[in-house]
Amino acid sequence: MAARNPRVRSVAGMQDELPRLDKRTALFLDVDGTLLEIAPSPDAVVVPPGLVTLLAGLQAGLGGALALVSGRSLATLDRLFAPLRLAMAGQHGAELRLRGDLPALTLARDARLDGLVAQARAFAAAHAGLLVEDKGLGLTIHYRQAPHHALAVQAFGARLLDAAGARFELLPVHMGVELKPRAISKRSAVEWFMREPPFRGRVPIVLGDDRTDEDGFAAALALGGRAVRVGCEGPSVATVRIAAPHAVRAWLAAEAGRLG
């Protein structure tokens, strides 16, 4: 899908074109499954050559109105895209940074999380191939290397949510489940950015690939923007889809060339 603005079919049977980027738009990008291919484990992702330079060019071309909105922590995102420091929402909006040179606004870690992580790790130890990721403000149980444990993980996740209480929610993610603070989401993250310069007053464009990104899509659409779902699986409120991360990067490169 290297051609500029390819037409693709949405789940609703409608056709729409990939949006164009200009000085009036604000761009929000998920990372895993959107900018980067999904890897067997979170630590195994590969940042393709040239992507950091491409993002830096887009950031400049959009006057700074580009943000990563990810389930990963800001510390992990900064390591992945070093030396570039971007506006970011980490852990689905539990960490917010308006610019790379500013400190982040961060929720406090819930005191119950240590115990929840310990329970998850004990469960994983009894089910070979599972991986528990303590994100700082939430946790994810991955079954990418053990898909036969999917139902067991989902059932355990429901029990873990009962133990966690009303301040948390459980979301399905790519081959895993994620326990996160209920008060935040990618919708709240996008809305926060859109209240602040240089994002304020622009048209939001959100790209993502899974259930957690649907909240960001809803924010963009409510603000008169666009939502692009990466991949062909799963229902979505997005009106346009793009095949895979390599196609996203090709589209971004074409738009960066136009922005100059």
CB distance 69 to 216 below 8 Å: yes
Is 30 part of the annotated catalytic residue set? yes
Please state the φ and ψ torsions of residue 252, each to the nearest 5 degrees: -60, -40
Burial of 260 (0-12, 13-18, 19+ CB in 10 A): exposed
212: closest CA among 245, 240, 234? 234
Axis crossing angle, helix 186-194 with helix 211-222, rounded to the nearest 10: 30
Catalytic pick from 30, 78, 210, 213?
A: 30
Furthest C-alpha separation in the chain: 53
Catalytic residue positions, numbered: 30
